[in-house]
Amino acid sequence: MAFSAGFVTIMLGVGAGAIALWIDVRFPRLAPRDVAKIVLHAAASILLGVFAARGVEALAAAEDPQLSLAAIFGLAFPAIVYSLLAAIWVIKLTQQMLGGHLR
């Protein structure tokens, strides 16, 4: 059974989101408490995404299926998980800062 590239991409995103949520719920102490650290994590996740994309492009250029899988699951997937985890932390910070102002 062959899956399309779009389906695989969506499933990788859903899986990364589920793992990011699990990390946030399972390890709440990992979440930074102050604004500066959360902003640093968000910036680091963006930079990691840029470098992971370049690494995936370089490894995919070899046209070796094993290298492509290694690039996807060794570079891209962890970068996506970290980016989504940083986004969760930003959302939580925003909720804390707003407090009850939107009620």
pLDDT at 103: 59
Question: What's the predicted TM-score (pTM) here?
Answer: 0.88
User: Coil, strand, or helix at residue 103?
Assistant: coil
Q: Summarize pLDDT for 85-103 with one digit per residue, the tens.
A: 999 999 999 998 888 666 5
Instruction: Give residue 2's pLDDT band: very low, low, confident or very high (50, 70, 90).
Output: confident
Q: Summarize pLDDT for 42-81 with one digit per residue, the tens.
A: 999 999 999 999 999 998 888 888 998 899 999 999 999 9
Q: Summarize pLDDT for 27-51 with one digit per residue, the tens.
A: 999 999 999 999 999 999 999 999 9
CA nearest to 59, candidates 45, 72, 78, 77: 72
Distance CA 89, CA 81 (A): 12
Q: Domain locations in the chain?
A: 5-98
